[in-house]
Amino acid sequence: MKTILITGGAGFIGSGFAHYIYDKHPDYKIIVADALTYAGSVENFPVPIWKEHNERFEFWYGNVVNGELMDTLVSQCDYVVHFAAESHVTRSIYDNSQFFQTDVIGTQMVANSVCKYKERVRRFIHISSSEVYGTALTPEMSEDHPLNPMTPYAAAKAGADRLVYSYCQTYAIPAVIVRPFNNYGPRQHLEKAIPRFVTSVVLGEEIRVHGDGGMSRDFVHVEDNCEAIDMILHAPADKVTGEVFNVGTGQHRTIISIAEEIITRMNGDKSILTFADERPGQVSRHTADISKIGKLLGWKPKIGWQEGLEMTIKWYMENEDWWRKRLWLRDIPIVRADGKREFH
Ligand SMILES: NC(=O)c1ccc[n+]([C@@H]2O[C@H](COP(=O)([O-])OP(=O)(O)OC[C@H]3O[C@@H](n4cnc5c(N)ncnc54)[C@H](O)[C@@H]3O)[C@@H](O)[C@H]2O)c1
């Protein structure tokens, strides 16, 4: 049996990945390490740990900045996939202290443990983000696009991304850096756009779009992202070690078009759409160039936008108990550079 450590496995993508690995690799034991911040929940796990013992799934409630804990866990693992992070851009404008602590120092702690146990660990995947690129300077953004992080979240992720790269060069750790573009799907926190829009339509509440809603993103379904990470995890070392891979679709859509599409699909009332000031540090466009992962590993997304959006809406409609208790975390007070206070 192989053992895989998933940090941040109680959050949106990390838990999606835990489900994916649990179902796809019956010969793998999963260890999740998660500090259960406001963004994480044991309800997201593939097995109900509060009901039963399962020898394929172990949960450690703990913080990635705890180096001793990371040593204990990493030393038992064949694979490490590091998702744990503070992940919400707007929250990083409100208070960025935890972002640098978790996203940079936490990554350093995990990378230190991988370095210590690199004879044991076959592969370490660091989950970075397309946010490290800033606004697209080219029609599609390849892995060579300059890194121009525009918010504290993006800067912390860029720091962690380059930290892992430096450990590859200096200490030859078996690391790969993955830069997913915007993920969507089940169990995503209500602070993020698509779940916020869907739940607002259910509640008949206003949907607040920043600026004119013309900023656009490349949305990839979380299951496709998990498949890409799984392929990178199992690819021959000479193809992936020390490399960076984008994971996206190569298509972008505007936030306003997504809000309108969700309202239409759910038979909502268009008058719930309202507009607020642009978010500070807003990235105007993100579009992935996914040719590298396509050429090297043969990965391409399988879930089309229409299908993915329909599945996502269905999940939120069927899991109201899951999201109702998170409603209070949707609005974040920020202070703009000109001193103006507002909720985003
Ligand atoms: N969601 C996206 O669209 C997206 C896109 C690109 C990259 N990413 C990256 O993917 C990763 C996962 O994102 P997500 O959307 O699932 O985030 P999330 O906020 O839903 O989950 C983060 C998880 O990390 C845990 N965590 C936070 N601080 C921790 C700490 N100090 N120690 C241990 N656990 C801690 C939380 O409890 C939570 O379970 C992050 O690294 C994020 O930067 C996300």
Distance CA 149, CA 151 (A): 6
Query: What's the 86 CA to ligand 1 centre distance in angstroms?
Result: 6
258 — pLDDT class (breaks 50, 70, 90): very high
CB atoms within 10 A of CB 204: 9
Distance CA 165, CA 329 (A): 34
pTM above 0.75, yes or no: yes
When the pLDDT of each residue in the chain is averaged and rounded to a whole number, the result is 96
CB of residue 229 inside a 6 A radius of ligand 1: no
Distance CA 181, CA 128 (A): 10
CB of residue 8 inside a 6 A radius of ligand 1: yes
On the CB side of 244, CA atoms within 13 Å amount to 24
Residue 113 lies in a domain: yes
Distance CA 86, CA 103 (A): 6
The stretch 67-95 carries a mean pLDDT of 96
Residue 339 has pLDDT above 90, yes or no: no
Nearest ligand 1 atom, CA 84: 24
Contact indicator for 188, 222 with CB cutoff of 8 Å: yes
**Using CA positions, which residue lies closest to atom 21 of ligand 1?**
11
Distance CA 282, CA 267 (A): 30
CB of residue 129 inside a 6 A radius of ligand 1: yes
Residue 343 lies in a domain: no
The stretch 59-85 carries a mean pLDDT of 98
Q: List C-alpha distances in Å: 279 to 276, 317, 344.
A: 8, 28, 8
Residue 96 lies in a domain: yes
Distance CA 252, CA 264 (A): 19
CB of residue 64 inside a 6 A radius of ligand 1: yes
Residue 338 has pLDDT above 90, yes or no: no
Residue matched to tokens 């640098």: 100
3-class secondary-structure state, position 115: helix
Residue 32 has pLDDT above 90, yes or no: yes
Which residues constitute the domain of residue 145? 2-188+219-251+286-303
Residue 333 has pLDDT above 90, yes or no: no
**Using CA positions, which residue lies closest to atom 42 of ligand 1?**
87
Query: What's the 269 CA to ligand 1 centre distance in angstroms?
Result: 33
Query: What's the 35 CA to ligand 1 centre distance in angstroms?
Result: 11
CB of residue 222 inside a 6 A radius of ligand 1: no
CB of residue 155 inside a 6 A radius of ligand 1: no
Give me the pLDDT at residue 337, please. Answer: 83
CATH of the domain at 181: 3.40.50.720
**pLDDT tens column, 269-300:** 999 999 988 888 889 999 999 999 999 999 99
Contact indicator for 286, 252 with CB cutoff of 8 Å: yes
The share of the chain scoring above pLDDT 90, in percent, equals 90
Give me the pLDDT at residue 277, please. Answer: 85
Helices (H), 75-129: 89-94, 97-99, 107-116
Give me the pLDDT at residue 102, please. Answer: 98
**pLDDT tens column, 151-198:** 999 999 999 999 999 999 999 999 999 999 999 999 999 999 999 999
Residue 141 lies in a domain: yes
Nearest ligand 1 atom, CA 183: 3
Give me the pLDDT at residue 334, please. Answer: 83
Structure tokens at 78: 């064949």
Residue 330 lies in a domain: no
Query: What's the 229 CA to ligand 1 centre distance in angstroms?
Result: 15
Residue 200 lies in a domain: no
Q: Which residues pair with 321 in a beta bridge?
A: none
Give me the pLDDT at residue 276, please. Answer: 86
CB of residue 85 inside a 6 A radius of ligand 1: yes
Q: List C-alpha distances in Å: 100 to 13, 55, 104, 153.
A: 20, 34, 5, 8
Residue 288 neighbours by CB under 8 Å, 6+ apart: 130, 140, 141, 181, 218, 220, 246, 247, 248, 249, 250
CB of residue 65 inside a 6 A radius of ligand 1: yes
CB of residue 34 inside a 6 A radius of ligand 1: yes
341 — pLDDT class (breaks 50, 70, 90): confident
Residue 42 has pLDDT above 90, yes or no: yes
Number of domains, the chain? 1
64 — pLDDT class (breaks 50, 70, 90): very high
Nearest ligand 1 atom, CA 82: 41
Residue 34 lies in a domain: yes
Residue 340 has pLDDT above 90, yes or no: no
CB of residue 84 inside a 6 A radius of ligand 1: yes
Residue 202 lies in a domain: no
Give me the pLDDT at residue 332, please. Answer: 85
The share of the chain scoring above pLDDT 70, in percent, equals 100
Residue 200 has pLDDT above 90, yes or no: yes
**pLDDT tens column, 201-242:** 999 999 999 999 999 999 999 999 999 999 999 999 999 999
Nearest ligand 1 atom, CA 16: 16
CB of residue 231 inside a 6 A radius of ligand 1: no
**pLDDT tens column, 85-137:** 999 999 999 889 999 999 999 999 999 999 999 999 999 999 999 999 999 99
